Structure 1
């Protein structure tokens, strides 16, 4: 995974703002908001979420296979394979979960910065591309489909399991995979809805009083 670029800083406090005019402030605001929207709802972010979800699913597949191996206590070779599968599954599952948790923390920072920079002023012309309806809909539809698949695997499949046909290990494997699908899809749905809510509350809200502070001669640094 490539190293993520650092997030832009929050807007300076009102007493420290020294934009020469409103147009300069709006230009900086547009650049920062475009970067933040890409960080929150970019194609790369969607692809990485699915990659980490698939790695977590692969890790749980090894763990589920290990559980099924442990259901054969009379076969020492199967128990040995189960231990190896459990170790491999943990090596894939734990980093995937940790990296997703780190990404969720970064998303909270991005949403906080979006609200702060968006509240500076309104600029309908520059704000129009920030609505990103296409990528937002892509996040929503693909994530919703993944949630539906996960719920099916978690609820319908175990409910139809019959004693003697499916083992506890098989049911645990399917339910774990379904839970991973559901959680991965839920993250995507929440991000798409959070972006839509930000658009309605910030970009589509009634314009207020501009909150920039033009730099006076006394405020400008000496050359």
Structure 2
């Protein structure tokens, strides 16, 4: 899988005359969108997001437990609290930095993909850049994860729990819902591109 910096850049402006004819434009457009879409919806990127989500959730559990140990006032519990907080930092910081870096790359590649899509409408080239299996891999787990996060958050809010349990479950629900939302946003953005390709409309070639 190519890094995002090696992928096709955004297309030149139409007035720059980069293509001699429409056939050349469509060929280059399909090639660029295929490379960008395969990177954007790569299965391993979805797995990395879910893995980072689980690691961050584990770090949150360790952090809440660490704070709970610290407030007990006993030496042994203080030592355990410090250890748990150290483990929590080791889990949450790398996973959150990884997700943030992934979001930045997704924004860049998604922008290039939309720029190429706006150049024309050509349903005949859709099979050259469509990645339905990868899109489903992002969509279905994201729906399940966001639904689980929302259900867990709702049940936590309306349940009588101890402060430790409340903070733990509410934090996990927020993490799950946020990760599911990220996956849904990518899948929806891709399906909007496919829908646009299949919907006749005026493009640069029709003006």
The offset of 1:46, in angstroms, is: 0.9
Deviates more, 1:4-13 or 1:81-90: 4-13
Instruction: Give the 5 Å matches for 1:78-117.
Output: 78-117=77-116
C-alpha distance after superposition, 1:35-93 (max 9, x if no partner): 111122121221111111112112112112202212422x2111111112112212221
Helix, strand or coil: the match of 1:101? helix
Which structure is higher in helix share? 2
Contact in 1 for aligned 2:46/2:137 (Cα 8 Å): no
Contact in 1 for aligned 2:4/2:109 (Cα 8 Å): no
Distance 2:173 2:15 in 1: 52
Tell me what 1:46 maps to: 46
Contact in 2 for aligned 1:60/1:93 (Cα 8 Å): yes
Contact in 2 for aligned 1:67/1:169 (Cα 8 Å): no
Tell me what 2:171 maps to: 176
| TM-score, normalised relative to structure 2 | 0.87
Q: Highest CA radius of gyration, 1 or 2? A: 1
Distance 1:190 1:175 in 2: 22
Distance 1:43 1:102 in 2: 17
Helix, strand or coil: the match of 2:149? helix
Tell me what 2:195 maps to: 200
Q: How many residues align?
A: 204
C-alpha distance after superposition, 1:159-198 (max 9, x if no partner): 3234xxxx31222112111111111111111111111122
Gaps of 5+ in 2: none
Q: Which has the higher contact order (CA 8 A, sep 6+)?
A: 1
Distance 1:129 1:9 in 2: 18
Helix, strand or coil: the match of 1:48? helix
| TM-score, normalised relative to structure 1 | 0.81
